Structure formats: structure tokens, C-alpha cells
């Protein structure tokens, strides 16, 4: 039976990954930050089946302690300050956690447990101002936020530890993936929540495009990457891209209502058919630099990992609209 450490276990992906690895018979250890209020909701289903260890990516000693205590076969490094918008408010903190935190973990592996396999949660945000369409493993990077830059550092460090020290390190370059467990500040969940609560939706740029997949499916491919004979990096995406505006329209359609954008296409005010104003554009949600278009080419994952996504845009929205989570 294998033992795994999941950092970020109580996040969206960590919770699904914990469920998946438990179903495969793994012993699951989760790294958890102490909080003064409850933060275990997402792992409620599995809380009795996993072991939680207090620690922090910023605190190397806590990582060393966990590696001393358990023989860890695989680490999934999902912990991060993952909100792109906040990364302009807290660029140093974001970099400390995402970049230096990952390096600390890699150093603990190198010095105490070099046979441990390592998964790094890389991101399509590293493509930023995209240099080609669609983006694949060979597309040059051009991050557009402190978050993207911090993740690019961690990505290259993972590659470097693989090449320098023969650490079995894989980076999954995952495009946006959502679920009912998505954090409330991310645009998909924000839209779903407002529609469900009948509240006015206040958004920033509704014309950026994202390649949205389903988180529960995406965590399975993290596991697959670590089961290969040789460590490699993979783009994980659906190959479809949609604007935020299309997400709003499609989610609204599930309520039986339609949303109309007043006037010409570029007019941002959104009304339902009955004339109720449901969407307002709010400058505070615009970003200093935007990633306008993301669409991934996951053909390498299909070829080598026999993985492809089943849930696409409409079904994803349906799952989120219908869920009580
Ligand atoms: P998430 O829901 O925001 O979860 C992040 C997790 O990291 C939480 O458990 C959080 O714990 C933990 N964390 C934050 N700072 C930490 C620290 N200093 N030490 C230890 N734990 C810390 O993110 P997600 O959507 O599941 O994403 C998982 C990973 O994939 C992240 O690294 C993200 O950057 C990356 N990624 C996500 C996407 C996506 O579309 N979801 C796409 C590509 C890559 P608290 O609860 O204590 O805050
Ligand atoms: O923004 C626009 C915003 O915050 C998506 C993270 O998981 O995926 C995620 O990053 C788009 C952007 O996700 C609002 O400007 C408009 O163009 O949901 P988001 P993200 O920035 O794509 C990547 C792959 C990660 O790695 C990250 O960790 O939506 N947008 N109005 C808005 N976004 C938000 N959050 N809120 C708005 O009101």
C-alpha cells in the first residue's frame, strides 16, 4: 500500500484527489494550516480516513517533520495562494508560498527522501499572453500576473530537480478546472452562487476566454502522471474555450431564464428576459494585466496517459448549477 502526502488537501483539488487516492487504497496524509475557524468542509466525506498533519509550505521544518514521520511514496503539491486577482495585492506572499514554498518542499525531498515521486500543480496561467493557439507542452511561457510568475518559478524548479538530481518530478500544466467545491471568489463559482441566490452579479472583464474542465476528472490525471516509467510534464485541458459572458448566459439558461445584453454586443449590462437587471460590470474586478485567451492541446496526455476529459462546458455548468455542495 502506498503512502501519499497531499499539500492543499482541504482545497478544491486536494479534496477530490484525497477521495480518489483513498479509492485506490492509498494511505493519505494531508498538510493542513491551522485556522481559527472551520476549514475542513471539502474533506468532510473522508476526514475519518485520512491523517492530517499541521504544517505550512512556508515552514520547512514542518515539512521535514512529516517526512521523518512517514515513508512517503508520492507527494502532490497542490498548496498555493491560487487566486490570480489577489496576487497583485500580495505579490511577495504569493511568491513566498507558490515559488519558495515549492522549492522548500523539493529540498526536503532531495535531502531526506529522494525516491519520493513529486507532482507539481503548474498552470495555464504560465502561458499568459499566449504565444500560440492552442497551447501545448512546447508553447513558450509569458506569465501575466505575480501568480503566473510564481508558478513558472516552481515549474522550472521541478524540471531542474528532475534534471539535476534525478527526482521523479512531473508538472501538470492544468487549465482552469471547476466544480461545486471551487472557491467562491473564482468567476465560475461567483456566477453560479449569484444566480442561485438571485443576487446581482458584479463582474470585471467578461470577454476573456477560458478552457474550463471538471476538477474531479483532472485530479485522476495527476495520479496517472506519477505512474509513468519516466517523469514528464503534461498539458491538461478540454480543447474548448468560452468567454465569461458565455458562461453567464449558459448558467442562466439552466434556470429557464435568458439573459440579454443591452444594446450592442459590447454593452455590458445584462438583463433577464423579464427585464430584471442581473449583471453589472464593476471596475474593481478588472485586473492590471489580463490573460485574454486560454485553450489547451492535451493530445500528449491522450497519447501517453490514455486520458481525455469527458465533462465539457455545458455539463460542467449543469453539475455546478445542480449541486448542493
Ligand atoms: P485552492 O482551492 O485555492 O486550494 C489551495 C490549497 O492550498 C488550500 O488547501 C490552502 O489551504 C492551501 N495553502 C495555501 N497556502 C498554503 C501554505 N502556505 N501552506 C500550506 N497550504 C497552503 O486551489 P485549487 O483550485 O484546489 O488548486 C490546486 C492547485 O492547483 C493550486 O496550486 C493551484 O494554484 C493549481 N492550479 C489550479 C487550477 C484550477 O483551475 N483550479 C489550474 C491550474 C493550477 P487553506 O484552506 O488553509 O487556505
Ligand atoms: O478568472 C475574469 C478574470 O479568477 C477567470 C485559478 O484557479 O485558473 C484560475 O485562474 C477570468 C479572468 O480564474 C471576474 O479577469 C471577470 O479573465 O476564475 P478566475 P483565473 O484567473 O483564470 C488558473 C488556471 C489558475 O491556475 C488559478 O489558480 O474571469 N473575471 N470578472 C473575473 N474573475 C473573478 N475571479 N471575479 C470576477 O468578478
What mean pLDDT is predicted for residues 278-306? 96
What mean pLDDT is predicted for residues 143-163? 99
Asked whether the predicted pLDDT for residue 264 surpasses 60, the reply is no
What mean pLDDT is predicted for residues 22-43? 97
Confidence of residue 266 (pLDDT cuts 50, 70, 90): low
Asked whether the predicted pLDDT for residue 267 surpasses 70, the reply is no
What is the structure's pLDDT at 43?
A: 98
Instruction: Assign a CATH topology to domain 3-181+215-238+295-310.
Output: Rossmann fold (3.40.50)
> Does the CB atom of residue 91 touch ligand 2 within 6 A?
no
> Does the CB atom of residue 12 touch ligand 1 within 6 A?
yes
> Does the CB atom of residue 209 touch ligand 2 within 6 A?
no
What is the structure's pLDDT at 169?
A: 99
Between the CA atoms of 252, 309, 146 and 16, what dihedral angle is there, to the nearest 10 degrees? 90
Nearest CA to ligand 2 atom 13: 186
Distance 134 CA to ligand 2 centre (A): 19
What is the structure's pLDDT at 292?
A: 98
CA 278 to chain centre: 28
> Does the CB atom of residue 233 touch ligand 1 within 6 A?
no
Task: Choose among 213, 202, 257: nearest CA to 124.
Answer: 213
State the sign of the Cα–Cα–Cα–Cα dihedral 45, 49, 54, 60.
negative
What is the structure's pLDDT at 260?
A: 83
**Which tens digits make up the pLDDT trace of 46-65?**
999 999 999 999 999 999 99
Distance 253 CA to ligand 1 centre (A): 30
What is the structure's pLDDT at 269?
A: 75
**Which tens digits make up the pLDDT trace of 302-320?**
999 999 999 999 999 999 9
Residue 70 vs residues 66, 108, 280: alpha-carbon distances, Å: 6, 13, 51
**Which tens digits make up the pLDDT trace of 73-92?**
999 999 999 999 999 999 99
Weakest-pLDDT range from 24-33, 119-128, 183-192, 277-286: 277-286
Asked whether the predicted pLDDT for residue 258 surpasses 90, the reply is no
Distance 297 CA to ligand 2 centre (A): 20
| Mean confidence (pLDDT) of the chain | 96
Amino acid at each position: 500500500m502506498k503512502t501519499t502526502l497531499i499539500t492543499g488537501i482541504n482545497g478544491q483539488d486536494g479534496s477530490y484527489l484525497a477521495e480518489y487516492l483513498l479509492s485506490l487504497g492509498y494511505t493519505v496524509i494531508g498538510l493542513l494550516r491551522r485556522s481559527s475557524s472551520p476549514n475542513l468542509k471539502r474533506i468532510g466525506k473522508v476526514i475519518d480516513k485520512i491523517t492530517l498533519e499541521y504544517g505550512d509550505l512556508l515552514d520547512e521544518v514542518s515539512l521535514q517533520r512529516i517526512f521523518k514521520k512517514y515513508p512517503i511514496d508520492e507527494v502532490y503539491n497542490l498548496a498555493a495562494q491560487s487566486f490570480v486577482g489577489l496576487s497583485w495585492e500580495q505579490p511577495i506572499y504569493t511568491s513566498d508560498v507558490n515559488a519558495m514554498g515549492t522549492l522548500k518542499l523539493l529540498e526536503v525531498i532531495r535531502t531526506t527522501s529522494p525516491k519520493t515521486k513529486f507532482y507539481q500543480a503548474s498552470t495555464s496561467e504560465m502561458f499568459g499572453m499566449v504565444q500560440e493557439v492552442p497551447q501545448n507542452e512546447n508553447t513558450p511561457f509569458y506569465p501575466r500576473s505575480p501568480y503566473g510568475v510564481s508558478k513558472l518559478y516552481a515549474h522550472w524548479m521541478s524540471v531542474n530537480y528532475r534534471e539535476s538530481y534525478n527526482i521523479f518530478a512531473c508538472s501538470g500544466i492544468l487549465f482552469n478546472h471547476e466544480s461545486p467545491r471551487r472557491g467562491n471568489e473564482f468567476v465560475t463559482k461567483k456566477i453560479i452562487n449569484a444566480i442561485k441566490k438571485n443576487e446581482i452579479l458584479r463582474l470585471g472583464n467578461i470577454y476573456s476566454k477560458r478552457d474550463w474542465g471538471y476538477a474531479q476528472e483532472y485530479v485522476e490525471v495527476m495520479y496517472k502522471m506519477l505512474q509513468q516509467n519516466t517523469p514528464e510534464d503534461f498539458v491538461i485541458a478540454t480543447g474548448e474555450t468560452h468567454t465569461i459572458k458565455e458562461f453567464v448566459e449558459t448558467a442562466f439558461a439552466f434556470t429557464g431564464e435568458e439573459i440579454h445584453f443591452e444594446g450592442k454586443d459590447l454593452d455590458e449590462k445584462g438583463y433577464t428576459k423579464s427585464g430584471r437587471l442581473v449583471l453589472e460590470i464593476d471596475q474593481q474586478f478588472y485586473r492590471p494585466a489580463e490573460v485574454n485567451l486560454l485553450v489547451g492541446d492535451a493530445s500528449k496526455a491522450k497519447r501517453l496517459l490514455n486520458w481525455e476529459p469527458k465533462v465539457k462546458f455545458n455539463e460542467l455548468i449543469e453539475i455546478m448549477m445542480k449541486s448542493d455542495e
